[in-house]
């Protein structure tokens, strides 16, 4: 199993402790998080390490392995750059680019 696959796959203990990744928005409604990424991207690995440390189970979409994910990233976020965190709200989706912004957001939401 590659280092990347290990980061993508929670172990048994982490599965038991895993936090379901929905957060409350300012409107009190849950929001869903989806991470767009691909394996050879070092910025994605930085984000994955934080997700792993926080024991979060996010939906991951590999844009290299699945053209449909690449298309939805470009259509929705306007750019094919990864990592990108999609924050699904009730009305609008927010597409957050930049690994440092994503890490900051996750650290803040799951402190
Ligand atoms: N400053 C960005 C850099 C991200 C970046 O360069 N991602 C590369 C992969 S490692 C990428 O998506 N390149 C393809 C593209 O920009 O369309 C970050 O920290 O997230």
CATH of the domain at 58: 3.40.30.10
Ligand 1 contacts CB of residue 39 (under 6 A): no
> What's the total number of domains in the chain?
1
The whole-angstrom separation of Cα 19 and Cα 110 is 9
Instruction: Print the domain residue range for 79.
Output: 3-109
Average pLDDT, the chain: 85
CA of 8 to the centre of ligand 1 (A): 19
Pairing between β-strand 93-97 and β-strand 56-57 as defined by DSSP bridges: unpaired
pLDDT above 90: percentage of residues in the chain: 56
Nearest-angstrom CA–CA distance, 79 and 29: 27
- Closest ligand 1 atom to residue 99 Cα is 20
With a 6 A CB cut-off, is 83 part of the ligand 1 pocket?
A: yes
pTM: 0.86
Per-residue pLDDT, 110: 84
């Amino acid at each position: 199993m590659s280092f990347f696959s290990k980061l993508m796959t929670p172990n048994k203990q982490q599965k038991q402790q895993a936090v379901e990744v929905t957060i409350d928005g300012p409107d009190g409604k849950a929001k869903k998080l989806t991470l767009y990424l691909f394996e050879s991207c070092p910025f994605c690995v930085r984000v994955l390490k934080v997700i792993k440390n926080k024991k979060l189970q996010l939906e991951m979409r590999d844009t290299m392995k699945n053209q449909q994910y690449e298309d939805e990233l470009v259509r929705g976020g306007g750019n094919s750059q990864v990592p990108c965190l999609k924050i699904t709200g009730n009305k609008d989706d927010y597409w957050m680019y930049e690994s440092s912004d994503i890490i900051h957001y996750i650290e803040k939401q799951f402190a």
